[in-house]
Amino acid sequence: MKVLQFICSTGFYGAERWVLALTKHLPQTTTSELAVTDEPGTEELELVKQFTPLGKTHRLPMRNKFDIQVVRHLAKLIKEREIDIIHTHGYKSDIIGILAARKAGIPCVVTPHGFENAADFKLKAFIWAGNIAMKYADLVVPLSRQLLQDVRELNVPEHKTRYIQNGVDLSEVEAVRQTKDQQAPKTKRTIGFVGQMISRKNIKDILDCFTTLRAKRDDVELVLLGDGESRPELESYTQTLPSREDIHFLGFRNDRLQLLRDFDLFVMTSTLEGIPRCLMEACAMEIPVSAYDIAGIDQLITHNETGLLAPLYDKAQLLEHWEMLLDDNALATKLAHNSRLFVEENFSAQRMANEYDTLFVELLESNVNA
């Protein structure tokens, strides 16, 4: 069986790391290849670099943000490489992938990694078109139960949906976690975030909470890992804050796990999520977590059991949780340990890959018998 992973990538975020985790853990009887669109600003994609040892990679030139000719190129690639199934990730990838699969006569599996509550008109148009396209996929396989519900509310037929719970490659996290005792002494407690800097991540609430906390104490710093369209605006806002000297935007980092290991507290203020990979990694790294209580996050964090959850937009409660986890070492250690055990038991990449492989086989068999 030969599966083509297809994504219109703009960086190296949760979806890209997810594709790698799935590919690494699929059985050897399944051959995986990767196709990405070649757009301005994507010349040196980290995903392509890391996928290359795992399987063949292909780049499809795009003359603009949505070059319809890429459908023909992708269909041709599918036929030339004798691909059995195409697996798509993201609004634009879903639209192009579904059209190319129809043209090439193979099944298409769509995995939604999360829905965006964007304000930008063009992005809204992509989201709308992507949501419509999902109805024409052979299977739509969301990563969380909330995403499954969202998909069904978009009128994707129930017989076209299948739920496979998200997973993360815990082996690389565990290897770094084992080096915790080698941490260099620090003068400040590190509050950190890892993820894509886009509107639904609501990072401004993190900046505001940190500013209030920093006015009370001088032993804290804020480290933000990741990149995205909201980063310039967030950096500009930070320059207006009295806490700006202790706020560090580090961008995309290859050593993100080492930096995550050194966090004293992992924070999220998202308004919309699937099951965030960065949060799974924080749990697996045994870092205490404080976040807003929203669907997706609540599949990883149970309040007072595996972390602390505040009502959405309740910055006062969020800040109180930050202080509790920074100052009560016994509580922080207990919750972080519980979260690691929970993620290890429920969200392994191997379990996820096994379920996907079974799904791919079933889909091919049903396609042959149709």
Burial class (CB in 10 A: 0-12, 13-18, 19+), 131: buried
Q: Mark whether 128 and 203 lie in a shared domain.
A: no
Q: Mark whether 202 and 294 lie in a shared domain.
A: yes
Q: Mark whether 185 and 131 lie in a shared domain.
A: no
CA distances from 217 to 213, 214, 250, 323 (A): 6, 5, 23, 10
Q: Mark whether 52 and 188 lie in a shared domain.
A: no
CATH of the domain at 133: 3.40.50.2000
Q: Mark whether 316 and 177 lie in a shared domain.
A: yes
Determine the structural domain holding residue 252 and report its residue range: 170-346
Q: Mark whether 258 and 331 lie in a shared domain.
A: yes
Write down the pTM of the prediction: 0.71
Q: Mark whether 176 and 324 lie in a shared domain.
A: yes
Q: What dihedral do alpha carbons 53, 56, 61, 62 form, nearest 10°?
A: -80
Q: Mark whether 324 and 356 lie in a shared domain.
A: no
User: In total, how many domains does the chain have?
Assistant: 2
In a domain, 370, yes or no: no
CA distances from 95 to 100, 118, 122, 192, 285 (A): 9, 18, 15, 35, 36
Q: Mark whether 85 and 178 lie in a shared domain.
A: no
Q: Mark whether 222 and 357 lie in a shared domain.
A: no
Each residue's pLDDT, cut to its tens digit, for the chain (370 residues) gives 999 999 998 888 889 989 999 999 999 999 999 999 998 777 789 999 999 999 999 999 988 777 889 999 999 999 999 999 999 998 899 999 999 999 999 999 999 987 766 566 666 676 777 788 899 999 999 988 888 998 998 889 999 999 998 888 888 899 999 998 777 788 899 999 999 999 999 999 999 999 999 999 999 999 999 999 999 999 999 999 999 999 999 998 989 999 999 999 999 999 999 888 899 999 999 999 999 999 989 999 999 999 999 999 999 999 999 999 999 999 999 999 999 999 988 888 899 999 999 999 999 998 765 5
In a domain, 65, yes or no: yes
Q: Mark whether 42 and 145 lie in a shared domain.
A: yes
